[in-house]
């Protein structure tokens, strides 16, 4: 069966420090991968998506970047965190070849102090 792993679950980082959040998918091939951010009490904002290895599309200009070094691995990074980067980060996947649903990871709560 397909599963999605996201870590760490929580992270407290000082302003100006780097960031690396990792997401991996198991049990499928060539998934579409997505990074979302959710501010407190708000909906999900799409940050990046990828339809294949090495292919990244950005939805909003920001202090973050994403990479997809392997088919089932999606990484969210920052060189220098800002206070405004705090939030709940969620990774998700779906298969473009199917009209099915999207599966979300358990999320990372990032607090920049």
Which position among 28, 62, 65, 104 is part of the footprint of other proteins (CB under 8 A)?
104
* C-alpha–C-alpha distance, residues 18 and 78, integer Å: 5
> Residue 28, interface with other proteins (CB under 8 A)?
no
> Residue 87, interface with other proteins (CB under 8 A)?
no
To the nearest 10°, report the CA torsion of 88, 85, 47, 25: -50
Give Cα 79 distance to the centre of its chain: 16
What does the binding site for other proteins look like in residue numbers (CB under 8 A)?
6, 32, 34, 36, 41-46, 49, 51, 57, 59, 88, 90, 92, 94, 96, 99-107, 109
């Amino acid at each position: 069966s397909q599963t999605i792993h996201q870590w760490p679950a929580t992270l407290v980082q000082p302003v100006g420090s780097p960031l690396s959040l990792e997401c991996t998918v198991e049990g499928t091939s060539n998934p579409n991968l997505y990074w979302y951010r959710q501010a407190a009490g708000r909906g999900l904002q799409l940050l990046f998506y990828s339809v294949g290895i090495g292919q990244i599309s950005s939805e909003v200009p920001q202090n973050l970047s994403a990479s997809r070094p392997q088919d089932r691995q999606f990484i969210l990074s920052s060189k220098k965190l800002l206070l405004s980067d705090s939030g709940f980060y969620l990774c998700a996947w779906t298969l473009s070849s199917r009209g099915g649903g999207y599966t979300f990871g358990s999320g990372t709560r990032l607090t920049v102090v």
